[in-house]
Amino acid sequence: MTRNFKALGLALAAVFAIGAVIASAALAQNGIFTSDGPATLKGTPTGEAGSNAITVFSQAVTCPNATYTGHKLSVTPHEKVPNNSSSVTITPTYGACKVGGTLKATVDMNGCDFAIHLTKTTGVADQYAVTTTVVCPTGKHIVFTLFTNEMFHSKEEAFCHITITEKASYDGLKQTDTTNNSIDLTGTIEVIEAHEEAIAGTTKDSGILCSKQTSTTGILHIDLTITETSGTPIKLSHL
């Protein structure tokens, strides 16, 4: 009889263990984008001032008119994102940017894109962690150009380049289904490596504003609302 009770106990323990594994897997399923069909995504900066900015060498670069377009992962020319995709290529267009309150900057993507990959649930309702990779053509990088004059962007006024060295992947972002036909992409990416160097031949003494140096303490803040360009409802689900 004792042996039978022990066998029953082991069987129940196994059932509970399997149930726990299944429950855990259900709580940690990979996220996917869902819509009525293939979609082109649009990201619009939201949040407070400075909630979309990169800080490098103690200077915050903000691009208030930036736009972001999402399409099928790693396909050129661009195609719409298929339904039930867990990864999307994001192409930003930054426009005029500011450094602090006095200088202007431009951001040259040089053919680079962001690839975002939905991973596991975070424990918050309708929210998934995001892994981000920067995909560039061979030998190309994202480059910030700083200008000394607030009114114009001319070759003579450009005095500094800040080049980003891409890592294999970045964590720190998350996507949340707003349950209102849109998605929020928010979070912070840290430990970004950047190289600062004065532009050769510039007539300005930029030693103070732009000295030759490397930093691994860059921080990117993201707060975007993602919608479908034609107004088609989109949401997050899981596999």
Q: Tell me, what's the pLDDT at 153?
A: 53
Residue 206 lies in a domain: yes
User: Is 13 or 219 the better-scoring residue by pLDDT?
Assistant: 219
Average pLDDT over residues 69-75: 95
Average pLDDT over residues 213-239: 92
Domain that holds residue 55: 31-238
What is the rounded distance in angstroms from the CA atom of residue 26 to the CA atom of residue 216? 37
Does the pTM surpass 0.85? The reply is: no
Average pLDDT over residues 76-88: 94
| The one-letter amino acid at 198 | A
Is the pLDDT confidence value at 18 over 50?
no
Using pLDDT thresholds of 50, 70 and 90, give the confidence band for residue 188. Answer: very high
Is the pLDDT confidence value at 200 over 90?
no
Q: Tell me, what's the pLDDT at 203?
A: 56
Residue 17 lies in a domain: no
Using pLDDT thresholds of 50, 70 and 90, give the confidence band for residue 208. Answer: low
Residue 136 to residues 7, 9, 66, 139: CA-CA distances in angstroms? Answer: 59, 57, 19, 8
Residue 16 lies in a domain: no
| Closest among 159, 141, 51 to 105, alpha carbons compared | 159
Using pLDDT thresholds of 50, 70 and 90, give the confidence band for residue 24. Answer: very low
Q: Tell me, what's the pLDDT at 209?
A: 74
What is the rounded distance in angstroms from the CA atom of residue 9 to the CA atom of residue 7? 5
Q: Tell me, what's the pLDDT at 30?
A: 85
Residue 63 lies in a domain: yes
**Long-range pairs for 200-205 at CB < 8 Å and ≥24 separation?**
202/156, 202/158, 202/159, 203/156, 204/148, 204/159
Q: What is the mean pLDDT of the chain?
A: 84
User: Is 18 or 70 the better-scoring residue by pLDDT?
Assistant: 70
Tell me how many domains the chain contains: 1
Is the pLDDT confidence value at 132 over 70?
yes
Task: Report pLDDT digits (tens) over 88-125.
Answer: 999 999 999 998 777 889 999 999 999 999 999 999 99
Residue 109 lies in a domain: yes
Residue 86 lies in a domain: yes
Residue 3 lies in a domain: no
Average pLDDT over residues 60-65: 92
Task: Report pLDDT digits (tens) over 142-187.
Answer: 999 998 765 555 555 788 999 999 999 999 999 999 988 999 999 9
Residue 58 lies in a domain: yes
